[in-house]
Structure 1
């Protein structure tokens, strides 16, 4: 019964938004926006606590929310890890162990509304602002981002143009317009609701759907970049990384098979290490 309810829940929510929009279009658009930005998972699980608690570092204040940071100290260059949607810093555990063997100085933080960090919503511009706070504190040489963390890594560089040496993107989506097409299909939202939602996005974040393109933002990046994406990624299409790679002239694209969206195995870790070591 629970599984059946969860299956139909998006349609029920969509029906409610479609109906509310007839009477209160602005309120319906606001609800659709905050629903889109609200993760359902990503908090720290009991089995993740030991690894994370042993590396807890400073907590910094970001828009009146506490953001948890982590550090695994080393003597080599500073690397900052930026996790994805409905995840937390624990996703980097195996990669961190490899970086420790190379004696890198490793930093990470839980995004707003994820892990041990406070907050209820997340979007790329918000995440990029939090990332900039972290960059200001530690001045990393290399940033590695996964999924929405990879989107944020590019958008952050587009916005702030920091003096980072290298960037690594794992499974990045690219076009907000495609993401919103999927959102519309999942909830079965009417075109009129999507129009109001796009207006609300523009009001809140300063971009219309088609304007928010990671591939376009990557065009101005001058640092060397490594992009890794799985051919059969079911979350973010491989076309996203191909478009980013095409616009980002100083980037290299590695396409895997069978690594999924998580892109979390020895071969991928070794490719990243080869890139940052050279």
Structure 2
């Protein structure tokens, strides 16, 4: 049944495109941007409740922010697709031990924030609002959040941000769209309509939503972490970003998965923020 449902959507999109390419594009985008997981689970509630800071209004969404106060620079945490701020709990412990001021937020449709859908331009506006509000010196982002971070820095270079970290992040929107097309099974007529819709709504070509292009003129210090066996975001994505980002360091792992919560990974990140040597474990 789980394999059949996406194909039903695909056939529906194909049918719509026979009569209206725009309606097909709208339906395809709605399903693509729909958030199905990531709300606060019972075992996550207490941890997040204790750190709630304020609510920001962004594009008709209420965005929940969190803060763990410290005396050192501010670190902003940006979670990935169908996740929430709770995913950072292990890294937060390390950052607290180092006395950093830590802020985070739940993306639209995730955690304690409102909404049901999320797309890249909306996410970058949330990141920018957090940068404006908290002036972080460092930003750490996971998965889809990493792509959003690099896109936002490309469009609106920050005077505050000194260092950026991405963990298991995709690079090319074209690849994400190709995976979506294969999963759902819609035809190239629908794909063309989707691309036209992206161009009309966001003023960019699909192929220009590319982290490797976003970092071409990024002169800030960056740390990229990616596992070779990551099945959710391709390892070659960070390879490509690293090749185009002159100020980046790339740490490659094997067998740690997509989330990369391991203690030594968090230690790498803190050492990077503190300009300490990173001795990789193999």
The interval holding the TM-score normalised by the smaller chain is over 0.9
Matched residue, 2:230: 233
1:219 to 216, 220, 223: 216
- What secondary structure, in the 3-state scheme, does the structure 2 residue paired with 1:6 have? coil
TM-score by structure 2 length? 0.96
Deviations 1:100-119 (A, max 9, x none): 11111000000111110011
Tell me the residue number matched to 1:165: 162
Task: Provide the rounded CA distance (Å) in 1 between the counterparts of 2:129 and 2:245.
Answer: 25
2:278 aligned residue: none
- 1:1-278 residue pairs with structure 2 within 5 A? 5-163=1-159, 164-278=161-275
Q: CA RMSD in A?
A: 0.8
User: Hey, what's the Cα distance between the residues in 1 that align with 2:190 and 2:106?
Assistant: 32
1:66-91 residue CA offsets vs partner (Å, 9 max, x unmatched):
10000000011100000000000000
CA distance in 1, matches of 2:208, 2:70: 40
Aligned residue for 2:280? Answer: none
TM-score by length of 1: 0.97
Q: Distance in 2 between matches of 1:179 and 1:63?
A: 24
What is the deviation of 1:250?
0.4
Question: 1:124-147: CA deviations, max 9, x gaps?
Answer: 111011111111011000000000
Q: What is the Cα deviation at residue 263 of structure 1?
A: 1.3
Distance in 2 separating the partners of 1:65 and 1:204: 19
Unaligned residue ranges in structure 1 (runs of 5+): none
CA apart distance, 1:61: 0.7
C-alpha distance in 2, partners of 1:63/1:235? 29
Give the count of matched residue pairs. 274
Separation in 2 of the partners of 1:54 and 1:262?
Answer: 24
Superposed displacement of residue 170, structure 1: 0.5
Worse overlay, 212-221 or 78-87: 212-221
List alignment gaps of at least 5 residues for structure 2.
Answer: 276-282
Offset at 1:58? 0.5
Deviation (angstroms), 1:210: 1.3
* Shift, 1:180, TM fit: 0.8
Measured against aligned partners, the alpha-carbon deviations of 1:180-234 in whole angstroms (never above 9, x if no partner) come to 1111000111011100011001111222221211101111111100000001110
4+ aligned runs moved over 2 Å, structure 1: none
